[in-house]
Amino acid sequence: MSKIFPQKADSPLAKKFPECFLWGAATSAHQVEGNNHNDWTEWEKENAQRLSKESGGKYPPENYISGKACDHYNRYEEDFDLARRLGHNAHRFSIEWSRIEPEEGKFDDKEIEHYRDVIRALRARNIEPFVTLWHWTLPVWFVKKGGFEKSGNIKYFVRFCEYAAKEFKDGVKFWITLNEPEIYAANSYLKGIWPPQKKNLISYLQVMINLIKVHREVYIMIKKISSDAKIGVAKNNIYFEAYRNKFHNLMLKKFIDWWWNFYFLNRIKNYQDFIGLNHYFHNRIKNFKFNQNENKKISDMSWELYPEAIYYVLECLKKYSKPVYITENGLADAKDENREWFIKESLKNIHKAIAGGVDVRGYFHWSLLDNFEWDKGFWPRFGLVEVDYETLKRKPRSSSAIYAEIAKNNSINDTEQEEEK
């Protein structure tokens, strides 16, 4: 473990975060709950063998089946106890549409009660719930109707959200309508790697447009139910960097910034109370090529670790004049070699953005637990807490204690400056 300086909140080198800053971690239903039945579980069954083969046999087919996942559905109290012990005062999770409305128009009271208990369990521990209404998985009946590709289907999702908003309104203030709509649309309808594995530009654009409509309609509907609710999306924004600021690199950056980072946000700008930022990527553009990164440090998934990027991404959100919650940020790091460094450096950069006038009000690390990483399966380890998938035992990684200390002090020491002294 690296040298840890005591995080004295009153040290002159401490970078303080705003009062009432929210500190937490995020999960999503399909990735942690276990025993879901939705379009992904169907797809996993059909594709596990293929994915295992494509890994050259490195990962067995079981790696690609979400199955019981972390059994968080039954162990949420234990997990929230851990979160509390780790100093978290907020938690982001998603409710699973396919559980609540397993058949078209039939809502399951037992599942409603389950999520009510989940919300109560958070509140009992003084943890503020951030509820995501859709984190990529869909009921099978909805997919059979054509999913989000058909604008006529928007009403089904809005009806589900209305049901949830009415049932949970007493316990929930913060709502996230959609998780990373642009990643979903690209992976499921353009690149053809996630269900329903389409590669069709028109479908991709249609899904994007429909998700914009979905967000707006759900926003208006929730506001009617609880006027003081705070509503946003979790938007995946990337730091596109034009190599050496050369003209052609800059032109491409301008275009891709507009499409990837701002188009969705611009179209919903009058329908959001905050911006939820999910941030993972830096993408350097050099001579018309993307991803020309230096990759000095990478995660277990070979994603570049470049914590400076979050500063630039946050700066660009200033123009919306909205509070920002960082709803995801993290790395796959099974050995916990880089997580402490990554968290500290990211937070220093977030602090810099706050000092520069971006109204950041919270940070949710991805993730509280190791979990099911979609088409990659279980091998990537994103958790502050390690999960043994045989015994389902939880074991906090050492970086979780560093994050806990920062959260408890609501500040981070600039150890580099301290070391220089």
Three-class HEC string of 165-215: HHHHCCCCCEEEEEECHHHHHHHHHHCCCCCCCCCCHHHHHHHHHHHHHHH
Select 129 or 383, whichever has its Cβ closest to ligand BGC. 383
**Count of residues engaged in binding ligand BGC, rule: CB under 6 A:** 10
Contact with ligand BGC (CB under 6 A) among 13, 14, 121, 183: 183
What pairs with residue 369 in β-bridges? 385
- Catalytic residue among 33, 180, 304, 345, which? 180
CB of 332 to ligand BGC, least distance (A): 7
Interaction between residue 278 and ligand BGC (CB under 6 A): yes
Interaction between residue 180 and ligand BGC (CB under 6 A): yes
Interaction between residue 366 and ligand BGC (CB under 6 A): yes
Choose one: 68-76, 175-183, 218-226, 259-267; the region binding ligand BGC (CB under 6 A).
175-183
Site for ligand BGC in 324-343 (CB under 6 A): 328
**In 12-108, alpha helices (H):** 29-32, 39-54, 72-85, 97-100
Q: In whole angstroms, give the CA distance from residue 118 to residue 320.
A: 33
The first and second tokens of residue 125, run together, are 């521990």
Site for ligand BGC in 141-170 (CB under 6 A): none
Is the separation of the CB atoms in 133 and 190 below 8 Å? no
Site for ligand BGC in 18-47 (CB under 6 A): 28, 31
Is 328 among the residues known to form the active site? yes
- Catalytic residue among 149, 328, 345, 405, which? 328
Lay out the site mask for ligand BGC across 223-242 (x = CB under 6 A, - = otherwise). Answer: -------------x------
Interaction between residue 93 and ligand BGC (CB under 6 A): no
DSSP string, 3-19: ------TTSTTEEEPPT
Q: In whole angstroms, give the CA distance from residue 238 to residue 315.
A: 12
Select 156 or 366, whichever has its Cβ closest to ligand BGC. 366
The helix/strand/coil state of 90 is strand
Interaction between residue 179 and ligand BGC (CB under 6 A): yes
Is the separation of the CB atoms in 38 and 138 below 8 Å? yes
Is 180 among the residues known to form the active site? yes
Select 17 or 378, whichever has its Cβ closest to ligand BGC. 378
Cβ neighbours for 92, distance < 8 A, ≥ 6 positions apart: 24, 25, 26, 27, 129, 130, 131, 132, 176, 327, 328, 364
Catalog residues that contact ligand BGC under the rule CB under 6 A: 28, 31, 179-180, 183, 236, 278, 328, 366, 373
Show which residues are catalytic: 180, 328
